Amino acid sequence: MDASLTECGFTLDERLAAALRGNDAARFLATRDRDGRPYLVPALSAQSAEGGLIRFAAIFPAAVERNLALGGSLALLVVDEKLRWWSLAGRLEGFADGAAGEAVRRWGRLRPTGLLARGEPSTWGLVAEYSLLRLFGIPRGDGYADTLPREVALRLQTLQNVKGIAFVDAENRLIALPCQSLRPAGPGAVVCGTWLVPELRRVPPLARVAICVLTFEPNAYQIHGCFEGIGGGLLRTAATIRVSGLQPALA
């Protein structure tokens, strides 16, 4: 895996550019509200545009629209069909009307400012991590409320559904990362492996997080929660997130 949380000058590499052109890659947009709480929603229309920009259809839940209106930093997570992924930092450079005949009436324009992390996990590694979590993924804490609806829990149990997580790190950077092995662990908690994506270990303890799961119906769900830390239970590399509730993921 080639991954780093160090921002750097950014240009689209060939594989990322191909993922942004194709229809088989999942894209997630991370924003944050006035209080710094992260949100993570699908941005399947995100595609490279002229001038080094990435454009996306500006059709989001009301809370995300309000977050965009605040300006500030954004993060874009791109996961291609081979599970290769890129996490980009960026800033919003305004909106533009869609061209005549386009189905999208308003486009947001994102200026990439750095590559936060990237990775290329193996399929076998993912299956192994997920299997260990299914057998030994015990939450770190206790006293979890019944905050995870059964319908959403079932979607999290499906390995083929694409999952991402957004958080604000210790340096106040908004970051979005894949968390493909994430699965429910009781009525109010989820657990996730950190072996394939070690950057997940840098989520600050008690940080607020947003999780988005994208299904193939297609549908999407956004889960908010609190990062309880790494370890506990039987897996030293498993992370536990206490679920606080759901937020709309689609407009």
At 189 the pLDDT is: 94
Domains and CATH numbers, the chain: 14-119 (2.30.110.10), 123-247 (2.30.110.10)
Q: 3 falls in which pLDDT band (50, 70, 90)?
A: very low
Helices (H), ranges, 7-112:
14-21, 62-69
Nearest-angstrom CA–CA distance, 240 and 99: 45
Q: What is the CA radius of gyration of the chain?
A: 17
pLDDT tens profile 5-45: 444 446 778 899 889 987 889 999 999 999 999 999 999 88
Instruction: Name the residue with higher pLDDT: 126 or 103.
Output: 126
CA nearest 29: which of 10, 54, 8, 4?
54
Q: Letter for the amino acid at 74? A: L
Q: Provide mean pLDDT across the span 47-55.
A: 87
Side-chain half-sphere exposure of 46, counting CA atoms within 13 A = 30
Copy the structure tokens of residue 192. Answer: 């996730």
Q: Is the pLDDT of residue 137 over 90?
A: no
pLDDT band at 1 (very low <50, low <70, confident <90, very high): very low
Q: Strand pairing partners for 47?
A: 55
Closest CA to 140 of 211, 206, 208: 206
* Lowest-confidence region among 30-34, 56-60, 221-225: 56-60
User: What's the one-letter identity of residue 106?
Assistant: R
Q: Is the pLDDT of residue 196 over 50?
A: yes
Amino acid (1-letter code) at residue 137? G
Quick one: tokens of 251?
């407009």
pLDDT for 71 equals: 87
Q: Is the pLDDT of residue 212 over 50?
A: yes
Closest of 160, 133, 149 to residue 214, by C-alpha: 160
Contacts of 172 (CB under 8 A, 6+ apart): none
Residue 233 has pLDDT above 90, yes or no: no
> pLDDT-derived band of residue 214, with 50, 70 and 90 as boundaries?
very high
Phi-psi group of 206: left, alpha or beta (phi > 0 → left; psi -120 to 50 → alpha; rest → beta): left
pLDDT value, residue 99: 82
Q: Could you write out the DSSP letters of every residue in 181-213? A: T-EE-SSSEEEEE-SS-GGGGGSPTT-EEEEEE
| Cβ-based neighbours of 207, under 8 Å, separated by 6 or more | 167, 168, 226, 227
In this structure, the number of other CB atoms found within 10 A of the CB of residue 7 comes to 14
Which has more pLDDT, 103 or 133?
133
Give me the chain's average pLDDT, please.
Answer: 90
Name the residue among 154, 176, 153 with its Cα closest to residue 164.
176
Q: What is the pTM of this model?
A: 0.92
* pLDDT at residue 8, rounded to an integer: 44
The pLDDT assigned to 10 comes to 60
CA-to-CA separations, 36 to 118, 147, 150, 205, 233, in angstroms, rounded:
24, 22, 29, 15, 30
pLDDT per position as a tens digit, 86-124: 999 999 999 988 888 787 888 999 999 999 999 999 999
Per cent of the chain over pLDDT 70 is 95
